[in-house]
Amino acid sequence: MMMQPKTIRHFLLVSSLYLLGQPATAQQTNNTAPTRAHQPTLQAKIDFIAEFDQNGDGQVSHSEFFTERQHRLALMDLRHNAQIDVAGYQAEYADRLDQRLAADRKGQLKQTEVRFAAVDKDQDGRISSAEYQSSGQSAFRFIDSNKDGQISKTDSKADPVPQRRGQNNAEQPRRRPALVMPTTHSVSGMLAMYDTDKNGEVSAAEYQQIRQQAFARTDADQDGSLSAQEYMQEFTDRVDQQIASTRSAQLKQAQVRFKALDKDENGILSAAEYHQSGQRMFSRWDTDQNRLVSASEALPEAESAPATSDKAKKTTRTAP
């Protein structure tokens, strides 16, 4: 069913009132925006810029931002009646999320090929049990920074330090991935993967036992070594499980965001409600109020938490 010309004109007219308007002042924004109880970070700004930077210049103009928002709004209008319901809101977000997850999946599998080659020390095209355990022991020793024979939060200094802007001109901050897999390169990853009894620590014996079990599961033909195909298949299964879990959780959060934007609680998101949210978001990052968001300008000031319940706090996030 095609949207009627009159409906299109009405829809775009309502939207344009927000697209062409002047950005809200900081005072106006604070009066209408839900208060968030956290300190805005450079990483969050990098994520914002990466999401809305359509021309690849490393910054987001007011016009650029709202052009993309308008495009998304049109995609959400599943019934072509200039009104957005939760199904349309989720469907548009799911399309963008799935594209990011697919790209991240491809990158993760590519890295798995690199890891296989690194563990296969004798380069015979297979990973023996000895090679597998040797790789695991090296990872354990690295993360066990205090050398007490177990991995816990006391070893947190072994976690990789995030790259800061300006530390390395060749490595600029990047948007956070949609798909995050636990890694043996960090304390948190080790605990997520090997702390099966959830006591906050992983002993060397516990770690070795789980590694042996993982090797046996991965060795599908039970010949005592892992082929590249077996190694890849085991990791692919874990990646796909993580994608399913991430997708489910993110779509539930999309429902929460929809309810936060639906100020009159009628189950319908109007163009006005959607663009008001966008204006608050843009104005918050545009701290110098020049209608341009860049990584170099100052971060927004932290806002104090409102006196409200935990349940209410979960619904006060500004939607993307």
* Interval 65-79: pLDDT, tens: 999 999 999 999 988
Distance, in Å, from the CA atom of 66 to the CA atom of 278, rounded to the nearest integer, reads 8
Residue 36 scores a pLDDT above 50 = no
Q: What is the pTM of this model?
A: 0.76
pLDDT confidence of 192, banded at 50, 70, 90? very high
Distance, in Å, from the CA atom of 37 to the CA atom of 9, rounded to the nearest integer, reads 39
- The DSSP element (H or E) to which 150 belongs, if any, is strand 150-152
**Confidence (pLDDT) at 312:** 41
Helix axis angle, 62-76 to 42-52, nearest 10°: 70
- If we measure between CA atoms, which residue out of 231, 6, 249 comes closest to residue 113? 231
pLDDT mean over 45-52: 96
pLDDT mean over 67-94: 93
pLDDT confidence of 185, banded at 50, 70, 90? confident
pLDDT confidence of 166, banded at 50, 70, 90? very low
Distance, in Å, from the CA atom of 275 to the CA atom of 91, rounded to the nearest integer, reads 18
Q: Is 49 in contact with 59 (CB distance < 8 Å)?
A: yes
Distance, in Å, from the CA atom of 153 to the CA atom of 291, rounded to the nearest integer, reads 43
- If we measure between CA atoms, which residue out of 25, 14, 29, 26 comes closest to residue 280? 29
**Confidence (pLDDT) at 168:** 46
Distance, in Å, from the CA atom of 253 to the CA atom of 259, rounded to the nearest integer, reads 10
Tokens of 124: 């015979």
More confident residue, 200 or 174: 200
pLDDT tens digits, 230-264:
999 999 999 999 999 999 999 999 999 999 999 88
Average pLDDT along the chain = 83
pLDDT confidence of 319, banded at 50, 70, 90? very low
Residue 103 scores a pLDDT above 50 = yes
Percentage of residues in the chain having pLDDT higher than 70: 77
- The DSSP element (H or E) to which 60 belongs, if any, is strand 59-61
